Every structure is written in C-alpha cells, then in structure tokens.
Amino acid sequence: MTGVRIIDRTGAVFLVVLLAVAVLVPVLNLLVPPGSPFHVPDYMIPLLGKYLAFALLAVSVDLVWGYCGVLSLGHGAFFALGGYAMGMYLMRQIGTRGVYGNPVLPDFMVFLNYKELPWFWHGFDMFPFAMLMVLLVPGALAFVFGWFAFRSRVTGVYLSIITQAMTFALMLAFFRNDMGFGGNNGLTDFKDILGFPVQAASTRMALFLATVAALAGGYLLCRAVVTSKYGKVLVAVRDAESRTRFLGYRVENYKLVAWVLSAMLAGVAGALYVPQVGIINPSEFAPAQSIEMVIWVAVGGRGTLVGAALGAVIVNAGKTWFTGALPEAWLYALGALFVVVTLFLPKGVLGLWSSIWARRKAAAAPPVPRPEPAE
Amino acid sequence: MASPHLPISSADPYAVKSPGVYSLEAELADVARAQNRVRDPLAVTSALLYLDNITVSFDGFRALNALSLAIDEAEMRAIIGPNGAGKTTMMDVITGKTRPNEGVALFAGVNDLTRLDEAAIAQLGIGRKFQTPTVFDMHTVEDNLLLAIKESRAPFSNFYWQRTPFERERTDELLERIRMTDQRKRSASELSHGQKQWLEIGMLLAQEPRLLLVDEPAAGMTDQETADTAVLLREIAKTRAVVVVEHDMQFVRDLDVKVTVLHEGSVLAEGSLDQVSANERVIEVYLGR
C-alpha cells in the first residue's frame, strides 16, 4: 500500500539478467576453451563493457527525458567530462613510460612546450580525487546550466537547442591545443589503472564487472528516485508543469535536482567507458553523439529506465555489426530504426515486449465475462 | 491489474449519493481550521484579497485597467464579463503568473502578491482551478490528491517518503468529499471531463487554501454535474473564500452570491445577479454590440 515498489517485475528481470551477464561472461571467457562456440573471446570483454557504460548513460538520459520531460541533446558533454576526468588520472599514471619520459608532464604537454603542469591537472594523480571530479565536474556544469535554464523557464525545443549548443561549445573548446586537454588527439596511450595494466585481460574483466555493478547501482538509484514522492512530482512536472507550480512546488528546483543527478550518472558512465576503449577525445562532445543517446532511449522505451539500457545495448550492438558488415549503411539503418520506432513502437522495444507478454497472458487466461450493459 | 475492469454504469456516478451529503467531521475540521486563523496585527485591510488600481498592459493593450476588488474571508464571489474583460488576467495577477504594471495586490492584508512567484503564492493559501481541467494524467486519482496535500514542497524532503497516516486520512476524506472513493486507483487519464473537474477541485481542497480561484467550473458539464458542482462550491465557501469566474448564468444563479461584472479590465457593476442584470450598462455591454 505504500505505492510502487522500487524493484518491479521488469526491474527484477533486468537485475537477474545483469547478474547472469556478470557470472556468465567471465565463465564463458575463462573456463570455456577458445574452440567452443560458447567461448567469449577477450576482445569482446571491453566491447560489452562499452555497451554497458552506454546503457548507464542511457539510463541517465531517461531520468531527465522520460520522467521530467527535459529532452537533453547535450548529455554527451557530461559523459565526456566524466571521461576526461578519468583520462587525466590515467595520463598521470603513465609517468616516465611516455615517449618523452617526462615524469610529470604527459606527452602532449611536452610536445606543446608546456613548462609545468596546468593548475587544473593537479590532484589527478590521486585516484579518489579523480573519482570525485568524475562526479563533481559534470555535476557542477549541470548545476550552473540548469540553474539558469530552469529559472528562466526555458522549456521544450528551446531547452534542447541550448543543451546542444552547450556540448558543441565544449567540443570546440576541447579541440583547442591551449586548453590543456590534448587538443583533437585527446588523452590516450594509457598504461595503468590503480597499478594494474589497463590492457591486461584481468583488468579488463574487472572493469567490465565494475560497469555491470555501476549499471545495476545507477538503475536502482534512479528507480528509488522515480518511485519516491519526489519522482511523482517529477512526472507531474512532465505532464502538467503549470498545475504543479500552482500547487506550490518550485518546479525549477525539482528539475535541477534530477538534472544534476543525471549529469553525475553520465559522468560515471564516461569514466567507465574511457579505460575500456583506451581513449577520450573531443569527438565525444559532438552533437551527433548526444542525439544518438536520445535514439537509444527512444528505441528501448522512454520513461522505463530498463528500456533505455536495453535500447543502448541493441543500437550499439547493431552499430558494431553494421560498421563491420555494411559500413555505409549504418546511418541509414539508424535513421530507419528511429522512424520505425517513432511510428510503430511509441513505447519502444520494451513496450512491444510488455504488450506481447500481456497478450499471451490474456490468451492463456479464461476469457473474462463481458460486463453486462447497464440497464 | 489484480481485478478485471468493473462494469461502469452509464448512470451518473455522482447520483448514487444525494448531493449535499458529505463527511460532517471533515466539515467541522475545516470550520475549526478557519476559526483558528488569527488576523495578522500588521494587516492593513480586513479583506482577504485586496486589489487596488491594478493595471496590466500587453504591448499597449490594457488587459486590466485600474481594477479594484476586495474579497472577504469565507466569501463567495462570482465574476462575469464578456470575452476579453480581463477575468483570466486578473487570476494570473493574483496567482503570480503575471506581474501588474501598477497597483496593489494584498493577500490577508500583509502579503504583497506582486512580489511573490506562483509557488510562494500557492503556499500562502491561494488555489487555482484552470478553465480546462488540469490533472496529472499519468497518476492515479489518489496520487493526484497526494501531490496536492499540504505537506513539504521541498525536493529533498520528498526523497525518503512513506505515505503518512495524515496523508492517508486526508486522501480518504477528500475522496469522500468529491465522491470518488471507488475511483481512487484509476488513472486520472481514464476519467470523464466532469470527473476531472471534480478531481481538480479536490486537489485544490487538499492544498487547504484560504482563497480558491475557480475558472469556469461548469464548462462542459452535464446539467446534473453543474448543479452538483454549485452545491459543492457552496459547501466549500462556508469555510474559505471562493472566486468563481463563469459564463453560465444558470450556474451563477445556482451559486446565489454577490456578482462582479468586469468589462474592459475594470469593474462595471457589483451586486446580486438580479441587480446587475437590471443595470443599464451591463445590458449594453452584453447585448449592445
């Protein structure tokens, strides 16, 4: 009677699947011999880890879009900032193993004639500090942006456009060499994370499992938020903003809290993504990337959280397959997928699955007697 | 999803109980709440809502032109006027949606409404019902009421939340009052137009406002629903001030209260419905062009 449970049926299935993935992938990778069709090859581990990092990112997009009605076309910015914070830590771990062997300055700084470390690079040699920045930097940007945007009551398409402008501006800034983030090459050539070699199979497995855990944790956190009374108000804002205002709620504060939380989750996703793909560069800020994230959520099912994660994995698996098999066709396939989902699956893949489930259940159950017409 | 949909009778769901029957306890609690209000010693007027010389211009067009109006505690007032008379703009000024260019708007004699935002004004105790029923479609009837119940409006205090006994009690009481107890688990999107109007009125009551602004409550209702709504509003007005903007003259007659006629942003006439209907200028405004 206390309202919606945090873990509903779909959520339970989702968490069981994640647990199964966390158990099966290491087993199939380590215990099944390489000749077997069930063997998961080493190269698949960071690839799957990347999908799951994107799934966490999609969950963060869904929190603001699906539950609060804020269509962000700039979530790539928060993702990339989290990624850069992790990348800066990884760069500082290289030490004297760089091409130039400078114990303090990363290679690109030596190349660009930096004499000393810029002030904002200090502290990133410490893992806890870097992890704090993974949360704080995207969170702070989201807070400042959201403070002004929501207070000025910018909504709808206008808000989407300025989120897009935000990520575009950051992309241009990060492309500049004198910003101190490696220009268009970004940060790469990582060696160690917490003393373990980034390329080692065991480290990659640990990173993969950390991503599974982060996705499960992020999902549960978002679920706790959306099933609370705060979450009910959030949905109310989405559906009837002025009604909520006239009930006495400060709508801008409600949006701001969800927006900052979402940005932090996106930052965590970025931090998990970077060591698994081995590079972070300004292309992550590209507007097209942020638009793609929205497509993941739409494909999976907006306003369901699980659907967002599902959509991210489906679309990215499709992307991997297409860019290998039919590289020219990928963008057409993505566009077609978006059109099909918008026209025929307004609730996304998850919505399709639930309606099939409901239909099968209805077919299995004895027919419900039709209510007698009144009078 | 536990039970199949109950057959819904085509008969009017409100007709099941006779209109006018409601929880006596709820009524007495309301009266007690109203009597406990102590007038602020700093109050400059005894009127609950005091508008003086309010002017609002949009690009040179004067939506409100030196409008003055006073509503007493627990008074019901009907506001009528032809289209463009400034009825909605007046509500926008009172609820903080529109800032007047000049004039004084005081609530309870102390709160300057021209300096507060919508949320602050709502928390002071002014509730507003929109012309088209505006409820939260994706929420159930009881959750719609829950969100309106007078409790903390701060985001963080609503993170760790369990339905409190107070919320449970209030919800039951309000459902009874708007006669929707059997609809509590339904999604608001499934309700009929008239039911949504009533749910919205229920949400306003949940806010425990001292002043209710109601914009065309009878629009789109059946005759029976309209009559029931008049009864409900009259009950509500026993304990709090109610301002009703309405076009439906029969409904205004049913309310049987003092009427204010607005025209071109100012008050044209005030008095009983019979008095204002006999007023030459009112007849001219309504029929003259």
Q: Is B120 helix (H, G, I), strand (E, B) or coil?
A: helix
B158 chain-A contacts, CB cut-off 8 A = 228-230, 233
Q: Where are the beta strands (DSSP E) in B119-277?
A: 126-129, 211-215, 241-245, 258-263, 266-271
Whether residue B154 and residue A253 make contact (CB cut-off 8 A), yes or no, is: yes
Question: Could you tell me which residues come within 8 angstroms of residue B276 by beta carbon, excluding any fewer than 6 positions away?
Answer: B80, B259, B261, B269, B270, B282
Q: Which residues pair with B56 in a beta bridge?
A: B64
Is residue A224 over pLDDT 50?
yes
pLDDT score, position B30: 58
Tell me the per-residue pLDDT of A243-263, one tens digit each, with 9 for 90 and over. Answer: 999 999 999 999 999 999 999
pLDDT at res. A222 = 97
pLDDT for residue B250 is more than 90: no
- Residue A204 identity (one-letter amino acid): R
pLDDT grade for B217, boundaries at 50, 70 and 90: confident
Q: Do B122 and A242 touch (CB under 8 A)?
A: no
Compute the distance between CA of residue B226 and CA of residue B236 in angstroms, rounded to an integer.
15
Q: Which of A353-367, B1-15, B50-64 shows the lowest per-residue confidence on average (mean pLDDT)?
A: B1-15
Interface contact flag, A228 B161, Cβ < 8 Å: yes
Is the minimum CB–CB distance between A372 and chain B shorter than 8 Å?
Answer: yes
Kindly provide the ipTM of the predicted complex, given to two decimals. 0.85
> With bands split at pLDDT 50, 70 and 90, how would you rate the model's confidence at B14?
very low
Backbone angles phi, psi at B258, to 5 degrees: -65, 140
Shortest CA distance from B1: residue in chain A: A358
Q: Smallest Cβ distance to B122: which of A3, A240, A246?
A: A246
Q: How far is residue A71 from each of residues A156, A302, A338, measured CA to CA in Å?
A: 7, 11, 16
The candidate with the shortest Cα–Cα distance to B142, out of A169, A174, A65, A1, is: A1
- Above 50 in pLDDT, residue B10? no
Lowest mean pLDDT among A105-114, A230-239, B1-10, B98-107: B1-10
Quote the minimal CA–CA distance from B125 to chain A in Å.
Answer: 9
Q: Assess contact for B209 and B240: CB atoms under 8 A.
A: yes
- Give the neighbor-by-neighbor strand order of the sheet with B266-271: B126-129, B211-215, B241-245, B76-80, B258-263, B266-271
Residues facing B263 on adjacent strands = B266
- Angle CA(A56)–CA(A60)–CA(A63) in degrees, nearest 5? 135
A251 touches chain B (CB under 8 A): yes
Residue A221 at interface with chain B, using a CB cutoff of 8 Å: no
Pick from A308, A350, A252: nearest CA to A66? A308
Strand partners, B211: B126, B241
Compare CB distances from A232 to B8, B123, B147 and report the shortest one's residue: B147
List the structure tokens of A359: 């239909």
**Distance between CA atoms of residues B162 and B167, nearest Å:** 10
CB proximity B148 to A under 8 Å: yes
- Per residue in A78-112, pLDDT tens? 999 999 999 999 999 999 999 999 999 999 999 99
| A143 touching B (Cβ < 8 Å) | no
Say if residue A230's pLDDT is above 90. Answer: yes
Q: Which helix (H) or strand (E) element contains residue B149? A: none
**Partners of residue A225 in chain B, C-beta under 8 Å:** 159
- Do A87 and A250 form a contact (C-beta atoms < 8 A)? no
> Cβ contact (<8 Å) for A246 and B95?
yes
Of the candidate ranges A161-170, A203-212, B108-117, the one whose mean pLDDT is the lowest:
B108-117
| pLDDT of residue B33 exceeding 80 | no
Question: Could you tell me whether strands B76-80 and B258-263 are parallel, antiparallel, or unpaired per DSSP bridges?
Answer: parallel
Nearest to A228 among B148, B153, B158 (CB): B158
Q: What's the predicted TM-score (pTM) here? A: 0.89
Residue among A151, A225, A228, A229 with most chain B CBs within 10 A, to mutate: A229
From B287's Cα to the closest Cα of chain A, the distance in A is 35
At A192, which helix (H) or strand (E)?
A: strand A192-193
B274 and B116 Cβ atoms separated by less than 8 Å:
no
pLDDT, position A303 = 94
Chain B partners of A146 at a C-beta cutoff of 8 Å? none
- Phi and psi at B262, nearest 5°, equal -100, 145
Q: What integer pLDDT is reported at residue B222 of this predicted model?
A: 87
Query: What is the DSSP-derived secondary structure letter of residue A188?
Result: E
Chain B residue at shortest CA distance from A236: B136
**Distance of CA B190 to CAs A37, A329, A365, Å?**
51, 44, 25
For residues A129 and B164, the model is more confident at A129
| Range with the poorest average pLDDT among A14-23, A32-41, A54-63, A297-306 | A32-41
DSSP string, A29-95: HHTS-TTSTT---TTHHHHHHHHHHHHHHHHHHHHHHHHH----S-HHHHHHHHHHHHHHHHHHHHG
Determine whether the interchain pair B10/A235 forms a contact, defined as Cβ–Cβ distance below 8 Å.
Answer: no
B260 SS3 class: strand
Residue pairs spanning A and B at CB distance below 8 A: 94
pLDDT at B27: 60
Phi-psi region of A182 (alpha: psi -120 to 50; beta: other; left: phi over 0): left
CB B53 within 8 A of CB B66: yes
Cα–Cα distance for residue pair A11/A304, rounded to 1 Å: 9
Of B128, B155, B163, the CB nearest to A230: B155
Query: At B155, which helix (H) or strand (E)?
Result: none
Q: What are phi and psi of B63, to 5 degrees?
A: -70, -40
Residues 271-300 in A contacting B (C-alpha not used; CB under 8 Å): none
pLDDT surpasses 80 at A288 = yes
Average pLDDT over residues B191-211: 92
State yes or no: pLDDT of A368 exceeds 90: no
Give the residue among A66, A108, A151 at the shortest CA–CA distance from A350: A66
Predicted confidence at residue B23, as pLDDT, reads: 58
Q: Mean pLDDT of all residues in chain B?
A: 85
Amino acid residing at A318:
G
The minimum CA-CA distance between A235 and chain B, rounded to whole Å, is 8
Structure confidence by residue, pLDDT tens digits, B40-60: 667 778 889 999 999 999 888
Exposed/middle/buried for residue B72 (C-beta within 10 Å: 0-12, 13-18, 19+): middle
Buried b (16+ CB within 10 A) or exposed e, A344-364: ebebbbbbebbeeeeeeeeee
- Say yes or no to pLDDT of B18 above 70: no
In terms of pLDDT, which residue wins out, B25 or A31?
Answer: A31
Tell me which chain B residues have a C-beta less than 8 angstroms from the C-beta of A257: 155-156
Task: Kindly report the CATH class assigned to B22-287.
Answer: alpha beta
A245 touches chain B (CB under 8 A): yes
DSSP strands (E only) in A214-301: 279-280
Mean pLDDT score, A337-349: 90
Helix, coil or strand: residue B232:
helix
As a whole number of angstroms, the distance between CA A190 and CA B205 comes to 62
3-state SS, residue B214: strand
Using the Cβ of A235 and the Cβ atoms of chain B, whether some distance falls under 8 Å is answered with yes
Q: Does A240 touch chain B (CB under 8 A)?
A: yes
Using a CB-CB cut-off of 8 Å, the residues of chain A touching B139 are: 232, 235-236
Domain boundaries, chain B: 22-287
Share of chain A above pLDDT 90, in %: 85
Contact criterion met (CB < 8 Å) for B7 and A242: no
Smallest Cα distance from B135 to chain A, Å: 7
Q: Furthest-apart CA pair in chain A: how many Å?
A: 90
Q: Kindly list the residues from chain B whose CB atom is less than 8 angstroms away from the CB atom of residue A248.
A: 119-120, 122-123, 153, 207
Written as six digits, the tokens of A241 are 């903003």
Beta bridge partners of B243: B77, B213
State whether residue B111 sits within 8 Å of chain A by CB: no
A372 C-beta neighbours (distance < 10 Å), count: 7
Contacts of residue B162 in chain A, CB cutoff 8 Å?
A: 2
A371 touches chain B (CB under 8 A): yes
> What 3-state class would DSSP assign to B55?
strand
Structure confidence at residue B131 (pLDDT): 84
A115-167 pLDDT per residue, tens: 999 999 999 999 999 999 999 999 999 999 999 999 999 999 999 999 999 99
Q: What is the pLDDT of residues A161-189, one digit of tens each?
A: 999 999 999 999 999 999 999 999 999 99
**Other beta carbons less than 10 A from residue A336's beta carbon:** 11
User: Beta strand pairing status for B49-58 and B61-71?
Assistant: antiparallel
Please give the pLDDT value at position B133: 87
B172's CB contacts (< 8 A; 6+ apart) are B181
Q: How confident is the model at residue B16 (pLDDT cuts 50, 70, 90)?
A: very low
* Sign of the torsion angle spanned by Cα atoms B189, B195, B197, B201: negative
DSSP output for B262-289: EETTEEEEEE-HHHHHH-HHHHHHHH--
Chain-chain contact of A248 with B147 (C-beta, under 8 angstroms): no
Asked whether B202 and B177 are in contact (CB, 8 A), the reply is yes
Q: Which helix (H) or strand (E) holds A108?
A: helix A107-111
CB of A18 within 8 Å of a chain B CB? The answer is no
Domain boundaries, chain A: 9-286
Nearest CB neighbour to B163, from listed A2, A247, A374: A2
- What are A305's two structure tokens? 């959280």
- Tokens at B200, concatenated: 């919205």
Average pLDDT, chain A: 93
Is the Cβ pair B158, A245 closer than 8 Å?
A: no
The tokens 């299935």 sit on which residue? A13
Rounded distance between C-alpha atoms, residue A209 and residue A201, angstroms:
12
Q: Does A1 touch chain B (CB under 8 A)?
A: yes
- pLDDT of A71 strictly over 50: yes
Q: Residue B212: phi, psi to the nearest 5?
A: -115, 130
| Min Cα separation B67/chain A (Å) | 23
Which single residue is written with the structure tokens 């002025």? A242
Partners of B141 in the beta sheet?
none
